[in-house]
Amino acid sequence: MTGSEILIKSLLAEGVSTLFGYPGGQVIPVFDTLYDYRYELHHVLTRHEQGAVHAAQGYARASGGVGVCLVTSGPGATNVITGVGDAMLDSTPVVVIAGQVASSMLGTDAFQEIDVVGITQPITKWAYQIRRAEDVAWAVARAFYIARSGRPGPVVLDFTKDAQVQQAEFAYRPCTFIRSYQPVPEADPVCLDEAARLIDAAERPLALIGQGVILAHAEEELKAFLEKADIPAASTLLGLSALPSDYPLNKGFLGMHGNVAPNMKTNEADVLIAVGMRFDDRLTGNVAKYALQAKIIHLDIDPSEIGKNVRVDVPVLGDAKVTLQALTGRISPRRHAEWIRSFDEYDRLEQDEVTRKELYPDGGPLTMGEVVRRVSEATGHDAVLVTDVGQNQMMAARYFRHSRSRSMVTSGGLGTMGFGIPAAMGAKLAVPARTVCLFCGDGGFQMTMQELGTIMQEHLGVKIILLDNHYLGMVRQWQELFYHERYSFTAMHNPDFTAIARAYGIASRTVEHRAELDDAIADMLRDDDEPYLLVARVEDKGMVYPMVPAGAGITEILLGEG
């Protein structure tokens, strides 16, 4: 077979059914071969390579599988760099395959030649250049194993044009082992025993839940652990759907715009149990003021995360599904009723000072929060939530509710505006039976709105809720609070978004008054197979509170103006 056919056969052997891409000169042989397999392998033609890689991310996050992206050399490859970096920071398994000039032309500055491996090596788990057809199957097997194993992440294969057309024998062997690569460290029984001892002695324990629980498929093990020791829990941004929103021990959202109670209680707990999270600065605030009173137990699959940002008293390395189960077997049943009740006072404070005003405003323009709440309620809190980045993201994280796992798809570590539309496409293709609701702002929407063409061509039933405030809202919020209301280049003069949707054959509606909001949402959700754009004209200078200012401690929380 040619190298191109070996590539396609190898993808099929890995169970790939959908990939996202954009053709170009140096990858034409692969696309030519793909034509013969178009009924076995669904290729989604995006309108930009950035859209392809973000769609692959959304597909991976919603499905639990590996997302695949196929692009050409030069600008095709460089256009996926943002998504590759995003996938690295958010531990998303994607395999990016990029065409490359022929081996004989490497290093000559040939047309559309770029050092893809050199550029991507710092932001991937593995980057490799394929120069021979006989190496294709081996490279693909290794790429998928590395992308999905241990702490997941992106892999890039740089595929020279001569290797695409050369011939070689095809024999596919899945990769299950690489010498010197140990993706899942074995848990130390001594550490597990010490962690259990601390938990048994704790009077004020708090669990911090990250996306690692979801990646390990450890949701049920987490519940068993929390329930045995009666431990309240709160989640990072990417870990939000690991526990149902109404789960009794779920105390909400951690971090800069998180809930007051878990943030305050972080600095009151005597033991913190962090599971599959990395103590990001948006979660900890000023680390010099973070949980100084607490013993910290950190369960993680990646040894490099232990002690990286905060001191850790007991490291528990390993897969969360395994380590949670082992820890649950070691701890004693406990009850912490008084400690759990102590969260209520802060919950009431947040309700009085922030939540009630945002979700149930007394007149005035629509608020972002009330739009999020009403969409969540209309879906029975069972939709996949996808967000772009900014105020729309934080409002959706705070007020959209979840009833099952893998229901939160957002750009966390890199904070990539423009992520939303293509990621929602990928999510819908991954779980077509589920409703996919995308919240975005007018800034992020316009960064990748060309992907409405992909939604049109693929006929994807993505429900887009555009929170239109005519500002780059989160930057404007910081300008208002910390830069003396000097709104430097954050005001936006926007087009008629419904006219744009109409040009793509997508139903749409603009809402300005809350009396018409429920009807518009019902219209949007009437047919899950049809795409829809709902433009909600919200207050132009709405604020996301609570907020922990940059550099402040996690308990130094702003609840509003003044």
Active-site residue, selected from the candidate residues 49, 113, 305, 458 = 49
Contact 264, 254 (CB under 8 A): no
Helix axes of 368-378 and 391-399: crossing angle, nearest 10 degrees: 50
Active-site residue, selected from the candidate residues 395, 425, 447, 474 = 474
Active-site residue, selected from the candidate residues 161, 223, 251, 321 = 161
Instruction: Say how far apart CA 500 and CA 494 lie, in whole Å.
Output: 11
In this structure, what token pair is assigned to residue 360? Answer: 């149930």
CA angle (427, 431, 433) in 5-degree steps: 130
Beta-bridged to residue 208, according to DSSP, are 234, 274
496's CB contacts (< 8 A; 6+ apart) are none
DSSP assignment of 297-316 equals: EEEES-GGGTTSSS--SEEE
Q: Residue 228 class from Cβ within 10 Å (0-12 exposed, 13-18 middle, 19+ buried)? A: middle
161 included as an active-site residue: yes
Instruction: Say how far apart CA 129 and CA 117 lie, in whole Å.
Output: 7
**R_g over Cα of the chain:** 24
Helix (H) or strand (E) holding 338: helix 337-341
351 included as an active-site residue: no
Three-class secondary structure of residue 97 per DSSP: strand
111 included as an active-site residue: yes
Contact 325, 221 (CB under 8 A): yes
Contact 454, 45 (CB under 8 A): yes
428's CB contacts (< 8 A; 6+ apart) are 384, 436, 460, 461, 462
CA angle (94, 96, 100) in 5-degree steps: 170
49 included as an active-site residue: yes
Contact 360, 370 (CB under 8 A): yes
**Spatial strand order in the sheet of 18-21:** 42-45, 18-21, 67-71, 94-100, 154-160, 126-130
Instruction: Say how far apart CA 416 and CA 42 lie, in whole Å.
Output: 26
Question: Measured on CA atoms in the order 87, 91, 97, 102, is the torsion positive or negative?
Answer: positive
Give me the active site residues, please.
49, 111-112, 161, 474
